A = this chain, B = another copy of it.
Amino acid sequence: MSSTWVPDVSSETPFSLANIPFGIISTSSDPAPHVAVAIGLHVLDLKVLATHDKFTELFPALLGKENVFSEPTLNAFAALGRGVHRDVRNTIQQLLSAETTRPEILRDNEELRQKALLPQRSVKLHLPMSVGDYTDFYAGYHHAYAVGVMFRGPQNALQPNYTHLPVGYHGRASSIVVSGTPIRRPNGQILLDPTAEPKQPITGPSRRVDMELELGCIIATPNRMGSPIKVAEAEDHIFGYVLLNDWSARDIQMWEYVPLGPFNSKNFASTISPWVVLADALEPFRTKAIENKTAIQDYLKDVREDTVFDIELEVDIRTPEGDTTTISRTSSKNLMWSFPQMIAHHSLGGCPMKTGDLLGSGTISGPDPRESGSFLELSKGGKEDIMLYGMDVRRFLKDGDTITIRGSCGKAGQRVGFGECIGRIETAVPL
């Protein structure tokens, strides 16, 4: 991969020429949300680029679809399919390359460049997709195991179905927000003393607000209802990936979740990163998933060896006092099920996937305790203090705490990453 003529692209940026992630921006001169890509510290405004009279010559796949970059979400672009995403990304890389064969279009076109190439700090980032349905899986093996040990001991840590199918549940789409949106501590029903009889809950702010470090996968091409997506074809249905923080209130969860699963403990907010990294950009970073020794069903068998991505993930907490501590470092490879397997399972009974649907991996933790993707694991079920910089400690999140997730892969100068997925906990609404 060559370098770019765009200024201020450091070797450590997650938005190298090898990436070209898509997002939704608004600017002071155009406050209507529309499509851009990120490159270093800049964004390229594709709605502005689409005004160039050579646009459809450069992007023949978008002939008749020039308005796709004026849309307030990426759904219309995603719906064009993976072949179009690939062509468009390739052409943008060509235009931004130091060896571009078409310098007159953008590099040497000062008027267009001034309008289209904008400092990232000057634009506002919006939720990139309109998410119709959100499904959260539980494919992070080490997380499922660690949490299972807490509740059922090491002998029964994993439920019998865990290695046979990618366990998942339907999440709440309406509370998905873009990075930076404040996260209000939820009120909820909590059983303070689970041993007392009769059981008597109280209503109040959750005392156990947690993060969940996840990778999110976004659907591009829908399937018809009743027509499952085969595991071998699932990649063609994927638009790209985001970082996902599936905020969780553990005390609310513990009381409400029997017998139908998590509900208010999860539906107060889920944060995604603003930039969607296209599926093609992550192709070079494939690796093996965690070995599953179970003889799995045919519809879940993937002939490929490398079905997941090795993305370095890290989580910072910043206290209200401003002290920052990195509390977790792990990799997105710590999954027992791949997204193609999740898609094949999800659609097995005929469930239609729609453009913009979000699938979460489930919490990603590594085998080492310092690789934990949740406070539940880091604090051993809320029983041990997590030491932070500045003599501070946590078991769960306090008001004013900010969680930042980062994820990227690749060599210096060619890094492919998501930027930041941030949320700050605000005080609960008074009851």
Contacts and interface: CB of A to CB of B under 8 A. Distances in A.
Contact of A249 (B259, B267, B268, B349): B349
Given A159-B258, A261-B169, A349 B297 contact: no
- Give chain A's interface residue range (CB within 8 Å of chain B): 35 or more
Nearest to A249: B349
A349 B264 contact: yes
A259 B175 contact: no
B350 A268 contact: yes
A164 interface: yes
Contacts of A258: 159, 161
From A249, A265, A346, name the one whose CB has the most chain B CB atoms within 10 angstroms.
A346
A31 B398 CA distance: 56
Nearest to A186: B349
B349 A268 contact: yes
A429 B226 CA distance: 7
Interface stretch (A85-93, A100-108, A351-359): A351-359
A174 interface: yes
Interface string A165-192: 1011111111101000000101111000
Contacts of A174: 132-133, 225, 351-354, 357
Q: How many copies does the complex hold?
A: 2
Contact of A173 (B168, B173, B201, B257): B173
From A133, A138, A173, A184, name the one whose CB has the most chain B CB atoms within 10 angstroms.
A133
Contacts of A160: 198-199
B259 A184 contact: no
A346 B269 contact: no
A11 interface: no
A295 to B, nearest CB: 8
Interface string A221-239: 0000111100000000000
Contact of A260 (B138, B177, B199): B138
A170 B134 CA distance: 10
A133 B132 CA distance: 8
A208 interface: no
A78 interface: no
A260 B168 contact: yes
Nearest to A297: B203
Contacts of A431: 298-299
Given A138-B260, A170-B171, A264-B345, 8 more contacts: A132-B173, A169-B170, A174-B225, A184-B350, A203-B299, A203-B348, A299-B431, A350-B429
12 contacts: A161-B201, A161-B255, A173-B173, A174-B354, A177-B225, A186-B348, A187-B349, A226-B429, A252-B349, A261-B261, A265-B349, A267-B346
